[in-house]
Amino acid sequence: MWTIRLVEKTDAAKVMNLQKALDRETRFMLMEPGELSDSVVEWEKRILPFIDQPHNVFWVVENAEGTLVGFLRARGQTPRRLAHSALIVIGILQEYWGQGIGTQLFEKVEAWAKERGLHRLELEVMVSNRRAIALYHKMGFVVEGLRRHAIRYADGQFVDEYMMAKLIH
């Protein structure tokens, strides 16, 4: 079993370990293995804007043993002309795929966005990440554009990304 809760500053080491595990097990995350910092202090600094600033939010998914197995964070925009939107990043360990975690996280972020009067949620996804794209479509996101060769793997392979969004009414 697992629970979803807001991130806390004391989760920095757990968030770091989760992100590193995600980077090792899939090529769908932005960073490559070994690219992220091993400094818990640096991870605390990364988390703080999601705790201290009301236009940001960060949920973590914790299993019964207290290990983080997934997350969703949304970073709101601060310029007034963009303040109606937020950019989402999500990651879930493969062992926990298919259990409804992604659906619940997206339901939470949409409720959070509505409470704040946001009108638009955005995300980017590699075109080869079919499972994630299916989830995003299920949650009402649509493809708005294609970023050709947006990602370059260490082996030199280029990957396209979709820009997806959902308008909240």
Tens-digit pLDDT profile for residues 84-120: 999 999 999 999 999 999 999 999 999 999 999 999 9
Q: Which residue's entry shows tokens 């979803």?
A: 4
Return all residues near 43 (Cβ < 8 A) that are at least 6 apart.
Answer: 12, 13, 15, 16, 37
What does pTM read for this prediction? 0.93
Q: Domains along the chain?
A: 2-167 (3.40.630.30)
Query: How far is the C-alpha of 31 from the C-alpha of 62, rounded, in Å?
Result: 22
Tens-digit pLDDT profile for residues 19-31: 999 988 988 888 7
Whether 73 contacts 22, CB under 8 Å: no
